[in-house]
Structure 1
Amino acid sequence: MFAKAFRVKSNTAVKGSDRRKLRADVAAAFPAFGPEQLSELVPGKDELNIVKLYAHKGDAVTVYVSGGNPVLFELKGTLYPTVYTLWSYPDLLPAFTTWPPVLEKLVGGADLMLPGLTMPPGGLPQVQQGDLCAITLVGNRAPVAIGVATMSTAEMLASGLKGRGFTVLHTYLDHLWQFGDKSSPPSIALLDQDPPECRGNVKEEGPVQVDSVLQGDMECLTLQGDEESSMAHKTPSSEATEELTEAGMDQDPAGSKTFQEQMDELLLRCFFHALKCRVTKADLPLLTSTFLGSHMFSCCPEGQQLDIKKSSYKKLSKFLHHMMKEQIVQVKELSKGVESIVAVDWKHPRKGSTLSCSEVRAIIIDYAKKNNLVDADNKNLVKMDPILCDCILEKAEQHTILRLPWDKLIERCLQRLKPAYQVTFYGQEPIVKKGKICPIDITLAQRACNKKVTLIRNLEVFGLDPYSVAAILQQRGQASATVTPVPGTKDAIQVQIQGNQITHLSQLLLEEYNIPRKYIQGLEKAPKTGKKK
């Protein structure tokens, strides 16, 4: 509703009699509020304003502002709390949890779809169609959106968590939030959500009994998920498990670093990930507050909370100015008091150097270890956090694939990386080039009068001089040889020599130049020698 700017009609102070009526309306709408909470929300003497506005679609909305923040809004006779109010009273509404990347869609005006929900250990809250609900992000109980349930909890489970679940009315980062002090959600610890039968000491007496209806619903969800999600029940190779054991999965991921140092690392990680995966040139100039709220926060791994105040930088502006000194971004004050990112050095060396397959594998294992992503019940599975979702999953898969086997995870990661190869010549520094290495290509072609010629391409890829190779083959094969451009290419050249000279060429490349056979194609076309009598 507030995804786009609204038009303010009036802004007046609330009188004493109107305050008492508002307090009674709030008590009727939210019975959980006690007298103290009502007095805090609707103060008797402190500043309280009533703002009448028109949303971008023409809806007339009444907003109550206390302490500089909108605390309530009224639409068609119904009162709703804002995120500012829910941050003070996080348990006021039944809360459903989603992934941080989903927040960006909600801010843009989208409704919350059921595949975007996460299933807590204690199950989904019990609501009926039309109930007002809060929406939180994984790892934090502070609500970031308010919506109305389009179906009951039982209907959600019966649908296999598919379809539209909530009509979203208001979100953190929307224009109603911007009408306040623009503060960020606080970090509110999670409650113990384990069902009663799962609490206490674990005994080795067999599996915990689960309600048959819920168990059927969960099985339905698994069967309707992606094919690779269902592979979570299969046992992959034990190679990855052994590497995890050697890597020390039970070690303290924080190590000896202070909390401030860990927050600095998390801040840098979210910053670079947001630049790489979420911001494009078309988004610039980009408000620094939008960059933080819509992009950096959504890049925070599951179970971690980004809090710049607890880092060594303390403020976003100070951190971004440090990034300016590193020549990664340019930040300017386009309007008074409002800073924007106006340029990004996309070619900055932060992208790193080349990695071998074994190094990529080690990085993935280390990442999973440090972020506690290995499934507690099955060490062969890795849980998908927002970072992994953005890196290896397609958009349509991000709500259906929650875990992947190790081999599939590493395979997908390698497929996303750009190939490169390295060639080392004796006495020289290795040469690294992008793309896949092209093997030496040997072909036979027919010329005039049914004469055969041998064509050799890609010699220069392996540091061989085509002119020198042509001279050697000309001498050994007693045939004319020339070096000509490869048709249809810009700079490539090829050696052309009369006759089938693959036997001489094979001896030259394999025995004298020591080129591995796997990098040469066409050697099987050598002329067959006659049988000895």
Structure 2
Amino acid sequence: MFAKPFRVKSNTVIKGSDRRKLKADLCAAFPSLSADELSELIPNKEELNVVKIYAHKGEAVTVYVLHKNPLFFELEKQLYPTVYLLWRYPSLLPVFRTWSPVLQKLIGGADLMLPGVVVPSCGLPDVNQGDCCAVTVVKNRAPVAVGKAAMSSSEMHSLGMKGRGVCVLHTYMDYLWTFGDRSGPPSLPEDESEGQEENGVKCEVIEKEELKKCVEEQQSSGETVTDQACCGLEELRIAEQEENKCESSNEKEEENQEDLKTPQEAMDTLLFQCFLHALKSKVKKSELPLLTSTFLRNHMFSCCPSGRQLDIKKSSYKKLSKFLQVMQQQHNLVQVKELTKGAESIVEVDWKNPELRSFSVPDETGVEATTVQEGGEAEVAYHPPEITTLYSVSARLEPLFVDAKKRKGMTMHPAEVRSIVTEYVKKNELVNENNKNYVTINPTLCDCLLEKSEYQEVESLKWDDLFSRTLGKMQGCYQVIFPGQDPIIKKGHIEPIDISVASRGSNKKVTLVKNLETYGLDPATVATALQHRVQASTVLQPIPGAKEKVLVQIQGNQIHQVGNLLLDQYQIPRKYIQGLDKASKGGKKK
């Protein structure tokens, strides 16, 4: 489920009532957890975040995060622990063991098949279909995957340990794991009885049918199980080496053929590849009729492989209209019509066309593959930073926080501030006896929160007023956490990405984008992505008075396109983007 990146919809602090409900749900889902363990997982005073996400297939998932690590996720009203939690409580779920090489298959999105399960001397765990269970590897009890049992234990035995065993939902090294601190599994040795007894061991799940048959034949003979597993894995290595040799030779042949092509022929091939790729993975039936210019700009250019640039003028067709005419007449892939004067549209696509159906979408589509450089190392996919609002203790409020050992300049989350203030009020018995919605003002609160004109007039404050005044007297700060880096705390409020439109000579419009660096975005990478997206020139300019900051300038009013790039691709929250309301609006419909 989390083998591919997911989209974060919201990230909020859990409410008190929801915290109690979650604790009750956990107690019901995992009765083996003691009251102390539940209190440790769902603490009353520490910040617990609720993150609502959409997986790459559209599933709505709720993730509960404590101390920056996801502990549980809820799918279809059922709670599942993450590997971070299972490393603390490895015996929380029924466990299926497998071989280490199988883990790579699981990380890639595969389910655990029964031939890959190592059956201990005590037998399989007693599970029913749909039960939550964990997966470990041989010689380490630390779980590496979480999923649902595909069938009951009795059915697994009756089927001869063949078929799907565990429908895997989450694994070590997947994108839910990267949402945490990315720590590795601890080393938890197995029980000696399990480590010595390996009767009933099956070989790693292998997709190649020939290798499966070979392993089954070896298991039916008188060889030991350990020899079978080693033989099977050795044959897998040999098969993979042969396959890699074939792939490398094929790649070399393709490269040689590519070198023999003229630049015009190479561009024709690239154009046709991007055309088929766009039709197969980008265009939806509901979008038709689709302007040909929009199809080229929004779909074909985004399908161009990284390191290459699509240029119709360098092809033999020279114009998009001529290329689409050939696609219509010779390949019968699309139907193009001029619905309005001077504007052609794709009105129909033959989704059953053999060329389109047989086309396989390449893995790497890199025109808008967003990457950032980290210390000159290899490029990695961009992930938006986690931005948190903090408050710093001011000199005036220091007496209010002295009992909590918070000195001047120390930063806290808003929830922690509320907790400390509440504790102070209760400790000093300042809750109004007649109306518990009010707090009596003592000398400390008077000096910290009231204005001089209020000293003689205000004797009590409502709870909300008390909290708002406290936060208002504190120094505003913010914390930025980039994946894999230490938190960065700065005073003031974070500057949003600013998008504006300016005029340059003869009333030409240009779009200006700044403050990208604050969010870990490389202005040059963003400029390249925009250039391909809107087919307009971009320029990078230093910002006067701002060190290490660059302004991105692109021709025309492109606020709408810049906004879509930042919101959809880079996943920057809308509240951190300024100027989206200045996008050009279309003419009024008659």
Using CA pairs below 8 Å that are at least 6 residues apart, which structure has the higher relative contact order?
1
Q: Shorter-chain-normalised TM-score: which range?
A: 0.3 to 0.5
Larger radius of gyration: 1
After TM superposition, the score normalised by the length of structure 1 is 0.40
After TM superposition, the score normalised by the length of structure 2 is 0.36
